[in-house]
Amino acid sequence: MTTQHDKAKLLNDLHRPGDPLVLANVWDGVSARLVAAAGAQALATASASVSWALGVRDGGGLDRDRALAQTALIAAAVDLPVTADLETGFGATAAEVGETVTALLATGAVGVNLEDGPDDGARELRPVAEAAERIAAARAAAAAAGVPLYLNARTDVFLRGVGEPEGRLDEAIARGLAYVEAGASGVFVPGTADPAVIAALAKALPVPLNVTGSPAAPTVAELAALGVGRISLGPGLAEVAYAAVRRAAREVYTEGTYGGLAGGLGYPELNGLFPA
């Protein structure tokens, strides 16, 4: 087994602008093992996927204890670096975000994703200074634990459509720079697939840029050429998996046939992912 410190260092090293780390986000032990077997170098959770798997809405439905318990399950399922999407940090204050990160490190995870939206899901983002303070608290908690945590600071300027369109790039850059100064290892800017915007972000930020991979986004090779350092699929895999469940269930209840079950992995292969 690799030590937690070694996993943390590896996760940091895997973020290389121009040679991005690709993260097919997982939500449970099976998805973790399948993605690892596919060749992943590290694993990431997606808060939406974890929330749905646990029967709650994304964006405020998940609580810290269940998020951390699911992270611990995933970290125990694979011998790879694991980074967790912890939404806004599960804390009303910066100090509570620090406590969340301390608890996260106890799960064996070595990375975290923290976003600058509010806990109540309102359209407005947190003030920059407040969001930066929460990042600084997360960094301090990791330093106190002696773990070089990869801290991915997410800004939702584009995702939430904050402000006028012509000002969003500058706002995302300004927020990203503030978060880097507060201790962020990288900056995640979801909500845009525009190559020109992505290239500008990658050039302006002194840390690896994380963007979302989707059917509408440039390919991995194209994003690499733009200088991206990390590509996340977010809840994409869970959406595909649950779509297959819905198709098969609807078919059997409406048509009385089982075609949706064809092409499944099969009991032996899935059961074989786990030791006896």
Tell me how far apart the alpha carbons of residues 184 and 178 are, in angstroms, rounded to a whole number. Answer: 9
Q: Would you say residue 1 has pLDDT above 70?
A: no
The reported pLDDT for the residue numbered 123 is 65
The reported pLDDT for the residue numbered 163 is 86
Count structural domains, the chain.
1
Average pLDDT, stretch 90-118?
Answer: 96
171: left (phi over 0), alpha (psi -120 to 50) or beta: alpha
Return the CATH number at 201. 3.20.20.60
Average pLDDT, stretch 229-233?
Answer: 98
Bridge partners, 41 (sequence order): none
Q: Is residue 244 part of a domain?
A: no
Q: Is residue 259 part of a domain?
A: no
What does the pLDDT look like over 28-78, one tens digit per residue?
Answer: 999 999 999 999 999 999 999 999 999 999 988 999 999 999 999 999 999
The reported pLDDT for the residue numbered 60 is 86
The reported pLDDT for the residue numbered 276 is 76
Q: Is residue 21 part of a domain?
A: yes
- 122: confidence class by pLDDT, cuts 50, 70, 90: low
Q: Is residue 253 part of a domain?
A: no
Q: Would you say residue 8 has pLDDT above 80?
A: yes
Q: Is residue 243 part of a domain?
A: no
Average pLDDT, stretch 162-190?
Answer: 96
What does the pLDDT look like over 128-175, one tens digit per residue?
Answer: 999 999 999 999 999 999 999 999 999 999 999 888 999 999 999 999
Q: Is residue 202 part of a domain?
A: yes
Q: Is residue 61 part of a domain?
A: yes
The reported pLDDT for the residue numbered 59 is 86
Question: Structural domain of residue 80, as residue ranges?
Answer: 4-234
- 21: confidence class by pLDDT, cuts 50, 70, 90: very high
Distance of CA 255 to CAs 88, 207, 240, 244, Å?
A: 44, 53, 22, 16
Neighbours of 214 (CB within 10 A): 14
**pLDDT over 90 percentage in the chain:** 93
Neighbours of 271 (CB within 10 A): 10
Q: Is residue 256 part of a domain?
A: no
